[in-house]
Amino acid sequence: MTIRPLHPQDLPAYFALRTALWPDSADDFELEVSKILNNHRLASFVAEQNGQLVGFVEVSLRDYAEGCESSPVGYLEGWYVVPEHRKTGIGRRLVQAAEDWARAKGCSEMASDSELSNTQGQQAHARLGYQEVERMVCFRKSL
């Protein structure tokens, strides 16, 4: 199993992974991936096994993140492993790649978030050393 940066030739397989995590993201796929490939504040790492992509992590530099004391911080924007490959250490290795990337960009802290209902995602974060710092409710209003 290899963890490596996303390449432009990965895009069809990457689309399937990304829309499995974010079903509403399909329409924005090309724009979002173009940003990742061309913006030094964004990166994506993929897990490849036997020529197949089985997971990814997207990481960014954010100027601010809840609970953090430094800036910028590395931020886990998306983290996904296909169900049949979970709990074999792939998720951990993806996050390590994201953390190495952020460290190389000068970061001394990482941050992330999770839906309140995603208790398994929260437990996986905790196993990787991520401490819960805040719970949030989001709002909107039409203008």
Ligand X SMILES: CC(C)(COP(=O)(O)OP(=O)(O)OC[C@H]1O[C@@H](n2cnc3c(N)ncnc32)[C@H](O)[C@@H]1OP(=O)(O)O)[C@@H](O)C(=O)NCCC(=O)NCCS
Does residue 34 belong to the site contacting ligand X (CB under 6 A)? no
Instruction: Convert residues 81-120 into a mask of x (bound to ligand X by CB under 6 A) and - (unbound).
Output: x----xxxxxxx---------------------x---x-x
Does residue 71 belong to the site contacting ligand X (CB under 6 A)? no
Say if residues 73 and 62 touch (Cβ distance below 8 Å). Answer: yes
Does residue 75 belong to the site contacting ligand X (CB under 6 A)? no
Say if residues 44 and 56 touch (Cβ distance below 8 Å). Answer: yes
SS3 state of residue 53: strand
Say if residues 37 and 45 touch (Cβ distance below 8 Å). Answer: no
Which of 17, 80, 99, 111 lies at the binding interface for ligand X (CB under 6 A)? Answer: 80
User: Closer to ligand X at the Cβ: 37 or 128?
Assistant: 128
Rg (CA), the chain: 15
User: Closer to ligand X at the Cβ: 10 or 125?
Assistant: 125
At 80, which helix (H) or strand (E)?
strand 73-81
User: Closer to ligand X at the Cβ: 36 or 95?
Assistant: 95
Size of the site for ligand X (CB under 6 A): 19
Does residue 14 belong to the site contacting ligand X (CB under 6 A)? no
Side chain identity, residue 38: N
Identify the DSSP state of 23.
Answer: G
Identify the DSSP state of 96.
Answer: H
Under the rule (CB under 6 A), what is the footprint of ligand X? 21, 79-81, 86-92, 114, 118, 120-121, 123-124, 127-128
